[in-house]
Amino acid sequence: MTIRERLELREKEYLSEYASFSMDSKGRLRDEPQCDIRPVFQRDRDRILHSKSFRRLKDKTQVFLTPEGDHYRTRLTHTLEVSQNARTIAKALRLNEDLVEAIALGHDLGHTPFGHAGERALDKVCPFGFSHSEQSVRTVDILEKEGLGLNLTFEVRDGIKNHQSDGHPSTMEGKVVRISDKIAYIHHDMDDALRAGILTEKDVPKDIGEIIGFSTGERLDTFIHDLVTESTDKNDIMMSPVIADAMKRFRQFMFDRVYTNPVAKGEEKKAEVLIETLYDYYMRHIDLIPRDLKALMDKGEKREIVVCDYLASMTDRFAIAKYEEIYIPQCWDKL
């Protein structure tokens, strides 16, 4: 018996009846030999962790565009916080930690530079629309490894695709990641807003604070404890009505005071114009995109989709550098 097989049997012995078991996975897009050490979801987690798209998350905006300071979240630190929240919940509910971690680490791999401003720009200019959750699946299926993709399991791909609020994950682990994503951004976006001086804790409505807490730590603790308590021994992931309502109202408070704040979001229109301009440029100069992306068009992929692939893969700094290279006059230096 291999190490992997022993680990799979241990899952059957320990995990909840509602968990996803590695040996029962629906499989991959392409069949391949099993690893003799790692179960399939652990193997998927490792593939995501070692991918180029994962490394690029460190230079992509979360909420605050190119902030001055070392402690504001990036798309990478957001991803890690989602993963930690999800693992904490999964462990308490005896769900599959490898699966939740793989989904969490992969859920934003297709996100654009400049956060949701970049996503809005591509959705506006691309005739086929653009969604970062769909792009994340496309990234792991096709774009990674120069067109080969990561060949992940159905369960991981399903969780990545359905991680947004309107998604319907087919596994409990996917449901954990979906709610963990909300908890993470509510928690750390408030923390970043406090650091930026946009909000103080006194700004939080008292009726909300009395339910979920008056600090970032208290709120995170409240959300996770309530989730675990309400979801134990149930085939669903849920919050109590009181906490769910308070969380919804706190999220609306964040939209009103942070996500639409002119101080925090004042540069986003520039980012949208930058992405729209680069889209137009590469539509007219498709020969300048990377060779592995151009090869997709030889297989029948539409030019608009491939240009979106290129722009969505860019980090903030790379997109700005490309814009400057193309449109900003350079100083002439006599040789």
3-state secondary structure of 57: helix
The tens digit of pLDDT for each residue in 7-28 reads 999 999 999 999 999 999 999 9
The tens digit of pLDDT for each residue in 262-292 reads 766 678 899 999 999 999 999 999 999 999 9
Region class of 249: left (phi > 0), else alpha (psi between -120 and 50), else beta: alpha
* C-alpha radius of gyration, the chain, whole number: 21
CB 117 within 8 A of CB 60: no
pLDDT for residue 20: 98
3-state secondary structure of 74: strand
Residue 64 pLDDT level (bands cut at 50, 70, 90): low
What whole-number percentage of the chain has pLDDT above 70? Answer: 95
Q: What is the DSSP letter of 140?
A: I
pLDDT of 78 over the 90 cut: yes
pLDDT for residue 65: 65
The tens digit of pLDDT for each residue in 215-257 reads 999 999 999 999 999 999 999 999 999 999 999 999 999 988 8
CB 319 within 8 A of CB 275: yes
3-state secondary structure of 61: strand
Q: Distances in Å between the alpha carbon of 62 and those of 71, 123, 250?
A: 12, 18, 19
The tens digit of pLDDT for each residue in 27-37 reads 999 999 999 99
How high does pLDDT run on average in the chain? 94
pTM of the predicted structure, to 2 decimals: 0.95
The residues, any chain, with a CB within 8 Å of residue 323's CB and separated by 6 or more, are: 274, 277, 278
